[in-house]
A and B are shown apart, each in its own frame.
Chain A
């Protein structure tokens, strides 16, 4: 697929008042529209909720977007959500970038709306800058040998080996000593129930 022109959509999330409470989302949205290659910018109440996600999908189709930036929370939280969302709209999931204007901005600058808004604009700008250079990625697949090696034949190794063998996998259990059993075999009784250890 040859792309001739970048078409970036920026979705600014209010997160209820979590973001909108301490910075001006509308201003961030307007600023985003001025950035190179951004064709559309939208403010959502909750971008991660179904209406927000539907809006992303709608705009991808309507505006023929080929990059998506969501300015909301930390990518550790919703990057998988939005990657799936853009993929459902036919975009490679790696053509999505997140701008963290909540954990790294609205929540830590609660008392300086101006500075927080300025910082949020920069965060969006950085995300758009990266988005302009995003490339589709494909997760390669490799075959799996469904056998397992357990190193150590103490109580832990024995339990793991039995569980896996009972599940149906071939298990190789390697033990250094001439017999399995490990430290536990040397104990007399074990707490808290005082039962025998062998």
Chain B
């Protein structure tokens, strides 16, 4: 099973998990709630 990462929809604000492979190139992503493609990966907080 592929790794997952946290994503946030910049349209409706929904947060969700999607498969994520840092080595794979850019992916077309869709918000499961509003179907927008403005889907941003939430990076882990660096401290």
A contacts B directly in the complex (CB < 8 Å)? no
